[in-house]
């Protein structure tokens, strides 16, 4: 195979050793003579995978038995509704901090379920930043405060968590979970679609504190209750077996890299490689996010005009760098450099950016 650098925002690049092991085990998992895709989710083999993945995630997040790890379906978009259905009583409201397109979607879904407030928004600066602590108009009686830790479309990221007092803090971490060490104890609930940093599409991770779980509503359809999935260890119904198997392999790979501190160092180097080209380009490349709020996962920028942007994407694709077109709602360029992207890929893109500017600037 020729070398391809995959900058897609999701489903995204997976570690090569993980794909190679999955390929090796595809037809015959651990001598069973069948694929993990064919095995019962009640089999000892799958129950081991399920338990291993949960324990690995707890180790990486440095959490204990007070937290529960769930493997659900429906993506983060399902969690936009499942969270308020479980945790937003009719006699209260929830605070949402709006920092981009995905925070907006979570907020809009909460409004369909109950009462929600926009406690802060950076929409007036086209979501180039996250709000300062002084900009937060938080309700001390809110059911929870919701943030989106990293916005894939706008390319902004929280680098310091907001102080929300005694109100439970909830985060959509779909695009930056396990990209850096995390003060997990500050969060009552974290959810993340796996298809960016954890595995393939099809499984959603939910990490929920026991105290927050006890506050959730029992008056829901069984499949929509967090309690159902905690009691059944994510095995109430047939789970996305292969996706969880892949998550387990990715978690093992992260541990082999040295854990989250080593992953963060690697991610900072990769992001700096690209941001340095942008900052040195004399505005030929214009980064969307304010420098202090730039994402380490999604580097977003514009060129002088859309014609050049289309040429940039076409030429990069011809050189084996795929997935660089910005989200259809905003255009521009987006390089998604999740955990599995090697430094080599960012070096290749930086060299291409420099050459493209030389030829077109």
List all residues 6 or more positions away from 33 whose beta carbon is below 8 Å from its beta carbon. none
102 is catalytic: yes
Per-residue DSSP letter, 244: H
Q: What is the dihedral of CA 218, 223, 229, 231, to 10 degrees?
A: 50
Mention every residue, 6+ apart, whose C-beta is less than 8 A from residue 114.
84, 88, 89, 90, 93, 94
161 is catalytic: no
Structure-block tokens of residue 76 = 């983060």
Using alpha carbons only, give the angle 294, 297, 298 rounded to the nearest 5 degrees: 70
Among candidate residues 102, 158, 176, 270, the one labeled active-site is 102
Q: Which of 203, 180, 222, 191 is nearest to 79 (CA)?
A: 191
The closest alpha carbon to 32, from 14, 45, 41, 47, belongs to 45
Which of 95, 158, 172, 270 is the catalytic position? 172
Task: Quickly count: other Cβ atoms within 10 Å of residue 153's Cβ.
Answer: 22
95, 158, 176, 196: the catalytic one is 196
Catalytic residue numbers read: 102, 172, 196
């Amino acid at each position: 195979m020729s070398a391809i650098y995959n900058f897609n925002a999701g489903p995204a690049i997976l570690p090569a050793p993980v794909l190679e092991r999955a390929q090796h085990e595809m037809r015959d998992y651990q001598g069973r003579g069948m694929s993990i895709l064919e095995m019962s989710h009640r089999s000892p083999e799958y129950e081991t995978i399920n338990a291993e993945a949960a324990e690995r995630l707890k180790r990486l997040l440095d959490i204990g038995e007070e937290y529960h790890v769930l493997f659900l379906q429906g993506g983060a978009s399902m969690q936009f509704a499942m969270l308020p259905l479980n945790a937003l009583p009719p006699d209260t409201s929830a605070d949402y901090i709006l920092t981009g397109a995905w925070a907006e979607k979570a907020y809009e879904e909460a409004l369909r379920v109950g009462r929600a407030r926009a406690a802060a928004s950076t929409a007036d600066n086209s979501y180039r930043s996250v709000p300062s602590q002084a900009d937060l108009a938080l309700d001390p009686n809110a059911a929870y405060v919701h943030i989106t830790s990293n916005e894939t479309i706008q390319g902004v990221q929280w680098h310091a968590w907001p102080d929300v007092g005694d109100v439970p803090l909830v985060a959509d971490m779909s695009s930056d979970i396990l990209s850096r060490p995390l003060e997990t104890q500050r969060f009552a609930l974290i959810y993340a679609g796996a298809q960016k940093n954890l595995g393939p599409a099809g499984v959603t991770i939910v990490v929920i504190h026991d105290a927050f779980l006890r506050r959730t509503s029992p008056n829901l359809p069984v499949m929509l209750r967090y309690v159902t999935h905690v009691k059944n260890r994510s095995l109430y119904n047939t789970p996305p077996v292969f996706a969880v198997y892949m998550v387990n392999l990715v978690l093992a790979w992260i541990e082999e890299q040295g854990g989250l501190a080593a992953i963060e160092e690697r991610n900072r180097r990769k992001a700096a490689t690209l941001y340095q080209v942008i900052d040195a380009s004399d505005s030929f490349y214009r980064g969307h996010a304010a420098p202090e709020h730039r994402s380490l996962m999604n580097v977003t920028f514009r060129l002088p005009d859309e014609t050049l942007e289309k040429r940039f994407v076409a030429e990069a694709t011809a050189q084996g760098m795929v997935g660089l077109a910005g989200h259809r709602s905003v255009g521009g360029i987006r390089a998604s450099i999740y955990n599995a992207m090697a430094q080599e890929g960012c070096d290749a893109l930086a060299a291409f950016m420099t050459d493209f500017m030389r030829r077109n600037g």
